[in-house]
Amino acid sequence: MILPGSTIGVLGSGQLGRMFAIAARRMGYRVHTFSPDQDTPTGQIADEEIIASYDDLDAVRNFARNVSVVTFEFENVSSAAVEAASEFAPVRPGGHVLHTAQHRLREKTFLANHGFPVAPFKRVASLDDLLAALNEIGCPAVLKTAGFGYDGKGQSKITSPDQAQEALNALGNQEAILEAFINFEREVSVVAARSIDGAFVHYGAVANEHRNHILDITVAPAPIPSRINQEAIEITRGVLETLDVVGVMCVEFFLTPQGKLLINETAPRPHNSGHFSFDACVTSQFEQQLRAVCGLPLGSTELLRPAAMANLLGDLWQDGEPNWAAACAFPNVKVHLYGKLAPRKGRKMGHLTALATTAEDAEQYVREARAALIKHF
């Protein structure tokens, strides 16, 4: 067991690491963060911010030498870096989890081979592959890069085979995956955690709304029948067990109009759709990650009050600094800002969480509070 007072190493330095570091600091741990950037969201909270490339394996070894366990908040780290770290400290979740989750094609193949429900998909390495895949899967379909994609980056929707060449060019002719386009009724996700001894806890299914492929609003709990909620939880449990995850993992699903769940993707770390847990649950997803990777018993995931989360993207800064006082005027709304210096369009700068007696009210408050941010007086 890695006890308070020990040092935790975090690969990556964004908002997920920041909120992890806040949870770890609260419990008396020290935190070192490793990334190529400086004055980062995680570095502002951590005891030490190590600035080096993920490919600098000696720097990774040095980092791991000074911590009791290495975890991550950014999963697109190479296997070589994970192996270098694991020479000196346990890496949790393990490299095999990263290897699977960071590459769409490996992830989908793994899920399908183990009987988990996914949308029909095909590997695409050439125009001929793509035309054959479109013939089999049909249109509309979505072409995605096989590796290193997130928030809809490296994706294009194909509505007719004439667009095949153009779609391949847009992805830079990299290895890709073609998926059937799912006309979903809604998107839901389950954030869950698993400990070293196999204990499993989950936060239940939450409903997610995306805008421009980026998460916009999460509502907890999801307004779905309890049978579907249970099914989403059981699929998530299966994925964490099959992958032998130690830590936190999020499984994102499409829910079809026929009531069928299909996994869209998995993330082997705390997830944007679990941010509500920071304010609304007995144990947040970040503290849960800490407990899991330190070998401590997992905490209760109980939802204290229905909640809704709204992301704050850099776009909100378009006409100047948002009106923070206006959001704080909503007494049940919490403001989270990640300390990022440049508010670029589409960049996740922070989020709001609203708590209420019903999930519908929470969603309404969080939308109103976010709208109030851009009213300048």
What is the closest distance, in whole angstroms, from the C-beta atom of residue 208 to ligand AMP in the complex? 7
From residue 143, alpha-carbon distances to 82, 120, 151, 169 in Å are 29, 12, 14, 11
Residue nearest to ligand AMP (CB): 182
Under the rule (CB under 6 A), what is the footprint of ligand AMP? 119, 142, 150-152, 179, 181-182, 187, 210, 213, 264-265
From residue 330, alpha-carbon distances to 129, 324, 325 in Å are 53, 11, 9
What is the closest distance, in whole angstroms, from the C-beta atom of residue 20 to ligand AMP in the complex? 22
∠ CA 58-64-69 to the nearest 5 degrees?
160
Query: Is the omega angle on the peptide bond into residue 140 within 30 degrees of 0, that is, cis?
Result: yes
What is the closest distance, in whole angstroms, from the C-beta atom of residue 146 to ligand AMP in the complex? 12
What is the closest distance, in whole angstroms, from the C-beta atom of residue 104 to ligand AMP in the complex? 7
What is the closest distance, in whole angstroms, from the C-beta atom of residue 264 to ligand AMP in the complex? 5
Nearer to ligand AMP, 150 or 200 (CB): 150
Residues in contact with 45: Cβ distance below 8 Å, sequence separation at least 6, in sequence order: 18, 21, 22, 25, 31
Nearer to ligand AMP, 252 or 287 (CB): 252
Nearer to ligand AMP, 73 or 179 (CB): 179
Q: Is 169 helix (H, G, I), strand (E, B) or coil?
A: helix
Nearer to ligand AMP, 59 or 214 (CB): 214
What is the closest distance, in whole angstroms, from the C-beta atom of residue 15 to ligand AMP in the complex? 18
Nearer to ligand AMP, 72 or 254 (CB): 254
Nearest to 40 by CA among 72, 13, 76, 22: 13
Nearer to ligand AMP, 49 or 265 (CB): 265
The region that residue 265 occupies, defined by phi over 0 for left and psi between -120 and 50 for alpha, beta otherwise, is beta
Give the C-alpha separation, 104 to 321, whole Å. 37
Q: Can you tell me which residue has the tokens 């989360």?
A: 309
